[in-house]
């Protein structure tokens, strides 16, 4: 007991002293509850129950308090156990609850109390019990709000770590689904869980995730985004190199492919690593609908290029390469531009900027003023600006199509780099025309190819190319054809299934 040898302060022997110390350390915080009871069961021991109000399950506490207090006057029941001390009596007979641990020092006590456990201290002993009574107000499992699908599960992660791990476990009933939990954040002590399927996930990647998480030294982790920023491979890139999702089925699918999930307490957004570029264009629904639905991925990729390039191509064509358009079209665009005071580049930047402002306002504004803002926004973006002759209708069309296409991706984090890069490309197009756009695209391409996510090249399986992985890249082949897990994740256990093409029986069916 004494040789626990840590710098953490051990308990005193006196109960009063211990309780006083707890109160003092917590600055007499008003949500601290201390309740002393006198147990007559064993030598009239005084016991104190300490917990933080709001983080505990009150029903559970009252049930085991009942047990403690009921036996307070019934010494006879326990008479044949008098040999045992009060501690083992309490633990062995009176705590009618599953999770009980012993505690010896104040650090562990605070840690337990502040995460919702109840501490039981016994007078005369420098030892206590931690009873697992965590329960707090929780949003519960609700419908997905960001990554919605037509066909597929509607459950979304919630803010509680346990709920989230349970959601994943419910989908993968396998003893190989392993879970490790760490506390990160010197102040917040946020619980962060690493989840992976043992034997499927690459051990090296798991070790790397573990190591990177251990390296974090920070005050607080409030969201998985903080973790993402601290463990990603390349900091100075607009592209996300770690996938995030609010969907348990996405996480389960990732785990089955050999990825590692990082679940952070307090946020419904779960990280998946390693991530590759094409992953951000894949929706869980691709796998739930029939295989031909997977063609939509190409649509998303086209949308990516439209969202990225439409305004800059418009600027380049109208200011440098007027010969590239068909004559009728160029006349029609020229007609729209008659009387517009700004150069095409300024016009495009202006409209893009306006749109970004509206988008930002749309997210931040209070719900109640929403409709008002959107009416004004629609007027600013559309009718009025054109009518006033400030912008040409063609620009409005280009900006609108850009805006719509940037919402096509199943993963919102991919639309952020596009928003940023779009402005750079407009500037390049305005100063160099198509040469500028091409140089921009070449730089972008080189940059994308140089990225890595936990050692996996970001553009795989396109670059380096893996023909077998193409079954689930730009298209989604029928499930019975996808025999292996993605090669680029480098698992040893590569075979996923051995289905054959489904067909009727020999004797007809």
Partner 1 sequence: MKRIGVLLLSLVLLAFVTGCWNRRELNDLAIIMGIGIDKVDGEYMISTQIVNPGEVASKDGGGMSQSAVANYSLRASTLFEGIRKMTTLTPRQLYFSHIQVLVLGEQVAREGVKEVLDLLFRDHEVRPDFYMILAKDASAIQILSMIDPLEKIPASKLYKSLETVERIWGSIVSVQLDEFITQLLQDGVEPVLGGVGVKEKVRMGAAGGKPLQMSALLKYQGLGVFKEDKLLGWFNEEESIGYSYITSRVKGTVEEVSCREKKKIAIEIIRSKATVSGIVENGKPQIEVNIAAEGNVGEADCPIDLSNPKSMYRLEIEAEKQIKDKVQKAVRKAQKFQSDVFGFGQSIYQGNPKNWGKVERGWNQTFADLEVKTTVDVKLRRTGKVGKSFIPLMKKE
Nearer to partner 1, 341 or 504 (CB): 341
How crowded is residue 382: how many other Cβ atoms within 10 Å of its Cβ? 15
Query: Which of these segments, 79-87, 194-202, 254-262, 326-334, binds partner 1 (CB under 8 A)?
Result: 326-334
For helices 344-364 and 393-405, angle between their N-to-C axes, nearest 10 degrees: 40
**Count of CB atoms situated within 10 Å of the CB of 433:** 18
Contact 250, 154 (CB under 8 A): no
Closest distance to partner 1 from the beta carbon of 489 (Å) = 34
| Among 327, 498, 500, 507, interactor with partner 1 by CB under 8 A | 327
Smallest distance from partner 1 to CB 335, Å: 3
Cα–Cα distance measured from residue 238 to residue 451, given in angstroms and rounded to the nearest whole number: 11
- The answer to whether 427 contacts partner 1 (rule: CB under 8 A) is yes
Nearer to partner 1, 2 or 338 (CB): 338
Is 440 or 461 the residue whose CB approaches partner 1 more closely?
440
Min CB(438)–partner 1 separation in Å: 14
Q: How far is the CB of 421 from partner 1 (least distance, A)?
A: 14
Interacting positions 284-323 with partner 1 (CB under 8 A)? 318-320, 322-323
Binding segment for partner 1 (CB under 8 A), chosen from 12-20, 278-286, 429-437, 466-474, is: 429-437
Min CB(419)–partner 1 separation in Å: 19
Given the rule CB under 8 A, which of 101-109, 204-212, 266-274, 324-332 is the region that contacts partner 1?
324-332
Alpha-carbon distance 358 to 374, whole Å?
8
CB of 383 to partner 1, least distance (A): 15
Decide: helix, strand or coil at residue 120: strand
Q: Specify the stretch interacting with partner 1 by CB under 8 A; choose among 200-208, 242-250, 425-433, 460-468.
A: 425-433
Within residues 157-216, the interface with partner 1 by CB under 8 A covers: none
Is position 118 an interface residue for partner 1 (rule: CB under 8 A)? no
Contact segment (CB under 8 A) with partner 1 among 85-93, 173-181, 290-298, 426-434 equals 426-434
**225 versus 382: smaller Cβ distance to partner 1:** 382
When binding is defined by CB under 8 A, the residue of 100, 334, 475, 494 that contacts partner 1 is 334
Pairwise CA distance, residues 182 & 399, whole Å = 46
Largest Cα–Cα separation, the chain: 104
| Least distance from partner 1 to the Cβ atom of residue 322, Å | 6
Shortest Cβ 350–partner 1 spacing (Å): 15
Secondary structure (3-state) at 86: helix
Distance CA 222, CA 235 (A): 19
Contact 291, 501 (CB under 8 A): no
Return d(Cα 297, Cα 332) in angstroms, integer.
33
Complex with partner 1: residue 295 or 335, whichever CB lies closer: 335
Q: Is the CB of residue 238 less than 8 Å from the CB of residue 414? A: no
**Residue 391 C-beta: closest distance to partner 1, Å:** 13
CB closer to partner 1, 331 vs 372: 331
Query: Closer CB to partner 1, residue 325 or residue 449?
Result: 325
177-184/190-197 β-pairing: antiparallel
Cβ atoms of 84 and 74 within 8 Å: the answer is no
Q: Which is nearer to partner 1, 340 or 418 (CB)?
A: 340
The secondary structure element, H or E, covering residue 398 is helix 393-405
- Cβ atoms of 238 and 257 within 8 Å: the answer is no
Report the nearest approach of partner 1 to the CB of residue 396 (Å). Answer: 16
Residues 335-364 that bind partner 1 (CB under 8 A): 335-340, 343-345
The sign of the CA dihedral 104, 105, 108, 109 is positive
The CB-of-329 to partner 1 minimum distance in angstroms stands at 10
CB atoms within 10 A of CB 447: 15
CA distances from 19 to 37, 39, 66, 83, 147 (A): 13, 17, 21, 28, 48
Helix segments in 258-343, DSSP class H:
285-288, 296-319, 327-337
Binding-site string for partner 1 from residue 430 to residue 449, where x marks contact by CB under 8 A and - marks none:
xxx---x-------------
At 44 the three-state DSSP class reads: coil
Closest-CA residue to 129 (of 61, 74, 82)? 61
| Closest distance of CB 499 from partner 1, Å | 52
394: enclosing H helix or E strand? helix 393-405
Total chain residues near partner 1 (CB under 8 A) = 26
Of 161, 227, 414, 428, which lies in the binding site for partner 1, with binding defined by CB under 8 A? 428
67 lies in the binding site for partner 1 (CB under 8 A): no
- Of 60, 55, 48, 41, the residue nearest 21 (C-alpha): 48
331 binds partner 1 (CB under 8 A): yes
Residues forming contacts to partner 1 in the complex (CB under 8 A) are: 318-320, 322-323, 327, 330-340, 343-345, 427-428, 430-432, 436
């Amino acid at each position: 007991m004494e040789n626990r040898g840590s710098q953490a302060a051990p308990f005193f022997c006196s109960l009063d002293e211990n309780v006083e110390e707890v109160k003092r350390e917590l600055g007499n915080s008003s949500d601290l509850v201390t309740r002393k009871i006198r147990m007559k069961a064993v030598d009239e021991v005084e016991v104190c129950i300490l917990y933080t109000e709001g983080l505990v399950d009150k029903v559970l506490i009252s049930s085991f308090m009942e047990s403690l207090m009921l036996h307070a006057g019934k010494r006879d029941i326990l008479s044949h156990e008098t040999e045992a001390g009060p501690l083992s009596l309490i633990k062995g007979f009176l705590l009618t609850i599953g999770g009980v641990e012993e505690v010896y020092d104040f650090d562990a006590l605070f840690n337990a109390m502040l995460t919702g456990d109840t501490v039981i201290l016994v007078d005369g002993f420098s030892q206590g019990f931690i009873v697992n009574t965590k329960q707090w107000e929780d949003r519960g499992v609700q419908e997905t709000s960001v990554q919605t699908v037509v066909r597929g599960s509607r459950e979304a992660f919630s803010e509680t770590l346990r709920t989230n791990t349970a959601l994943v476990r419910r989908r993968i009933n396998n003893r190989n689904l392993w879970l490790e939990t760490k506390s990160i954040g010197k102040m917040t002590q946020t619980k962060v869980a690493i989840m992976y399927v043992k034997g499927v996930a690459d051990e090296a990647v798991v070790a790397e995730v573990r190591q990177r998480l251990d390296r974090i030294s920070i005050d607080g982790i409030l969201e998985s985004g903080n973790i993402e920023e601290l463990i990603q491979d390349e900091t100075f890139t607009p592209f996300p190199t770690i996938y995030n999702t609010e969907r348990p089925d996405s996480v389960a699918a990732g785990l089955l492919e050999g990825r590692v999930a990082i679940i952070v307490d307090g946020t419904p957004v779960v990280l998946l690593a390693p991530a590759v570029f094409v992953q951000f264009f894949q929706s869980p629904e691709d796998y739930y609908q029939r295989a031909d639905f997977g063609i939509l991925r190409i649509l998303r990729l086209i949308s990516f290029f439209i969202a990225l390039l439409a305004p800059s191509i418009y600027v380049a064509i109208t200011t440098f390469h007027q010969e590239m358009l068909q004559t009728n079209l160029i006349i029609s665009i020229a007609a729209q531009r008659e009387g517009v005071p700004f150069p095409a580049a300024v016009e495009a930047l202006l409209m893009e900027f306006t749109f970004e402002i509206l988008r930002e306002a749309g997210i931040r504004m209070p719900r109640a003023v929403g409709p008002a803002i959107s009416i004004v926004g629609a007027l600013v973006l559309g009718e009025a600006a054109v009518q006033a002759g400030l912008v040409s209708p063609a620009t409005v069309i280009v900006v609108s199509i850009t805006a719509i296409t940037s919402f096509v991706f199943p993963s919102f984090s991919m639309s952020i780099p596009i928003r940023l890069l779009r402005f750079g490309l407009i500037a390049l197009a305005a100063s160099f025309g198509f040469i500028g756009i091409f140089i921009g695209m070449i730089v972008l391409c080189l940059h994308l190819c140089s990225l890595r996510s936990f050692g996996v090249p970001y553009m795989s399986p396109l670059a380096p190319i893996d023909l077998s992985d193409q079954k689930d890249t730009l298209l989604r082949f029928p499930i019975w054809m996808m025999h292996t897990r993605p090669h680029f994740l480098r698992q040893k256990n590569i075979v996923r299934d051995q289905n054959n093409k489904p067909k009727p029986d020999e004797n007809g069916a």
